[in-house]
Copies of this chain bind each other. A is one copy, B any other.
């Protein structure tokens, strides 16, 4: 079966790892990664979500923190700080830096991000086709109440999303084009999954790449989402601050309504909420969604595989491999 996942970083990466464990071999999984948080740091191109996906699916992730490399060190960043340079709140480990340097070399050599990503992925056994949402550089800024714009990573990593944002501006997004393979994967998919990634700055950014939303609303494949909100709070990350910035309540139900029902112009056919939010299921079903509640906390690969199975079951039987 052909599955397409629109993913941010940690949540989407962990979900995809569980999905692969559930599916087993013989299926074709394409992951379209958010690149709206990417940044140039010390002249090096950093792509947080692509790398979290690559490390998680490649078996190299730092399990404890969910991003970055296992057995990481900070020789370079510590020495860089001794020059008084850089953003001292953004730590790029030595091994993570190697990935970013490799990418930068490929980009400066003329490759588009999608080709550079493919080249980097050759090192790992990902079990998926990993695509950036676009080859264009997109830069996300949080707009504060006083009009100040902060680079998303500064707002997110440095200030832990504690400065109330009233919206996000994404330079380069509206003029971008989906990376090669993204639209093709969506329109030929058997199922499209919105994993429990940030619905605003991860999935929302991918959906805002011109052509992506249209490909999803027009694909014959069913679209199923898994709520990133459990009991009124994000499991990790700061999706609540992002939802608040765009005026969406931090509830599983509100996120589903924000994505919208596909047959009325939205995106979703089906929606998975946590058992803690089971009370919202009848209302969402009445709204027209196929909806179910289960334990959605991704404790490990096995529990995540069960969540993925539950989500796929909602939209029909899994075709056999191949």
Contacts and interface: CB of A to CB of B under 8 A. Distances in A.
Contacts of A95: 75-76, 79
Interface residues of A, number: 32
Contact of A42 (B40, B76, B101, B123): B101
A172 B82 CA distance: 32
Interface in A59-90: 73, 75-80, 82-86
Interface string A228-241: 00000000000000
Interface stretch (A102-110, A146-154, A217-225): A102-110
Nearest to A72: B75
Contact of A85 (B79, B85, B106): B106
A122 B43 CA distance: 21
Interface of A: 40, 42-44, 73, 75-80, 82-86, 94-95, 97-99, 101-102, 104-108, 119-120, 122-123
B123 A83 contact: yes
Given A42-B104, A43-B105, A94 B76 contact: yes
A124 to B, nearest CB: 10
Contacts of A77: 98
A80 B108 contact: no
A104 B83 CA distance: 13
A94 B77 CA distance: 9
Given A83-B120, A83-B123, 10 more contacts: A43-B108, A75-B75, A75-B76, A75-B94, A76-B94, A78-B98, A79-B95, A79-B98, A83-B99, A85-B105
